[in-house]
Structure 1
């Protein structure tokens, strides 16, 4: 049965969007609606999109709006359940045994338990938001484990028993879609695809996050980034790179580097792959001229 949450002060997507903006994150109608429904229905929020479109930042903003700590589980190839849930502090256990001599030592007391992100989220579901970042980088076995966890929000510790969350924690999953996620996992989530923002919205983001950047500069760098994304690049610039490029170019211009040369000299802030740079640099003057 679906659990419905009360979200204090936010009775719909629009108030949530305003709260996210106050937290320095601009959410469009689709994202605000998906986030609101996930929070209200007690379901995980699955955000997919290209790298750099703001998926992780959205989770951070949601945690900020809720006034909760963000607990991040960074997925990677080969990650296992132990890395996500808990482990025992073996060196500390051995030290305690040596120090105790003939006295009894409870090796499975809290002092020896190292809580990993999932266990931390279960222990305080009203105080924490669990971010499962880049789940597509994990293998299918770990995805199956997450599927089971998201079904009942419990963790079994053989030495301690089962730990169950008092209520479903707020969970945000992100995926760069380097592989397809299992359909069963998708069904448990409220889904939203985050694409690159349109130029007007991206310019707003630059102005919000980079107070030293002039509006004309923000608009020019957004147009240039849009042109870069249209090129066959291995790693096109994300929103964070747009903001950083605008800041870097503004800094160089303040040091006397004229436009558009300031943009060209700061290109390493926007593109961070040598092959991409080799391809773009000969074309950069034309791209900046069009911007």
Structure 2
């Protein structure tokens, strides 16, 4: 943290602008993250998904009956939380006879996200009937997530506990369960769930830590918030101190000699003689 502060101070002294220095520092941190922890989302991956979505949308405009393109684009829209668009894309597939587990699951999640809980729950139940262990309990994970959003705490707890029986090392599942327990007033149990989520994160392999890092920080929110608060305080102190740094005298060494004496003597100009 001190390193970042000194780096920001150095950039401020070079550029003369605290705001520009902050932008440059953010760019440097993002570039460093790409080669180390990869905490921030990849702009290349996001661009590729955006580009692929555009290609699929063009394909569907050309051939509205391309169900494979509809399914792939709907998956992208669900990932972007554009649930109603995903429903509009996948509903024709279901009407055309695509009742496989992938379509039922994805359309169920889309309906839940769009606010149509009865249809979403029904489709997830049908998907579970076809494959109870689909994607290692992902059906129960989505049930728990959206039930929590709707305030159905008992149902959310049951779904998340079933999910954690299948995928015991899930940091996300434990954090969601802790939120359910918090809303039920079970503070001790909620804290135990958060502690368990952090333990699972601590012993996870590196590739899994990269995926679960945001959920792990939600399990221990005091850590990132403390870091952010310290960073803001240091940046504020740095901005205050830069006001008192020595600045370059643009008038030059002879500026005072040429300005003030002539200004005092030449009161009337040539007409004063």
Report the TM range for the smaller structure's normalisation: under 0.3
> In terms of Rg, which structure is larger?
2
TM-score (norm 2): 0.26
TM-score (norm 1): 0.25
**Greater share of residues in strand:** 1
Larger RCO (alpha carbons 8 Å, 6+ apart): 1
